[in-house]
Amino acid sequence: MKLEAGQVAVVTGAANGIGVALAAALAGRGVRVAMADVDTAALTKTASDLGDQVIAVPTDVADIDQVRALADRALAEFGRLDLVVNNAGTSAGGPSWEVAPADWDRVWSVNVGGVVNGIRVFVPHLIAAGRGHIVNVASLAGLTVGLFGAPYAASKAAIISISESLRGELDLVAPEVGVSAICPGPVDTRMFRGLAELAAPPEGAAAESPLPAEVMAKLAPMMEAITEMAEEALPTARAAEIILDAVESGKLYETTHPTMAVAARERIDTILESFGTPARAS
């Protein structure tokens, strides 16, 4: 789908990080944007900074009635819908058996439920219009092993699967509506900075971890890898460019870090070998 001035985009999780960068990039192309987030203060300020072609719609994507209200507001203000970016997300960590049920529910309701609600509400509008694109922001964590981050990794794996199903369904019903599953690697967002600071606390700061010291010692190689990843974290503006390029080229899958995505191939090879299927030669 070619992005053009006068089109309308809805971006969730738009009060910070990749969401803000996407809204700014779209507005810079003359696309009108409905920004959604639960952080009303940050959302309102950002929308105001981006100009009068951007509106702030406080929305909890886990609540389908609020997502319906978001669609109604966007249509009332702008009269059409072209691009929907299901970007809202949250995280929880710790040993899988110790993550509180409420934390599992929160991550699942936002990360997965938010995407499902976005699909349920917006896809019928795009099908009726005979045009448009849905972007679901997943993560490389959904393609690799998420130690001590199972809720997040599992939710992102679900988003990839949902996106694949949606693409196949729309190929049959409305091939003019595109779908992209975005799998970012490290991007300089508030969420990733928190993880990086856990791995390497700022000088003078006390390390705070939900894990015992002896477990953290065993995880030293993983913490070192996260620290190295932080050095490769992309600016949010660059991540937004990659996502919008995927929309315009109609790509189902995209990542910000192709070299890191090799870990996904290694995982699949391990699974196939366990099944007795020879791994593909590299």
**Active site positions, annotated:** 152
Q: Which helix (H) or strand (E) holds 169?
A: helix 150-173
Within 8 A by CB and 6+ apart from 170, the residues are 123, 127, 177, 178, 179
- Write the single-letter amino acid at 233: A
Cβ(69)–Cβ(77) under 8 Å?
A: no
114 phi, psi to nearest 5 deg:
-65, -40
Q: Which helix (H) or strand (E) holds 189?
A: none
Residue 175, CA distances (Å) to 79, 81, 133, 167 in order = 23, 17, 10, 8
Q: Which helix (H) or strand (E) holds 253?
A: strand 253-255
Decide: helix, strand or coil at residue 135: strand
The backbone region for 39, taken as left when phi is positive above 0, alpha when psi lies in -120 to 50, beta otherwise, is: beta
Q: How far apart are CA 182 and CA 137, in angstroms?
A: 5
93 phi, psi to nearest 5 deg:
-135, 175
What the block records as the tokens of 196 is 């990086």
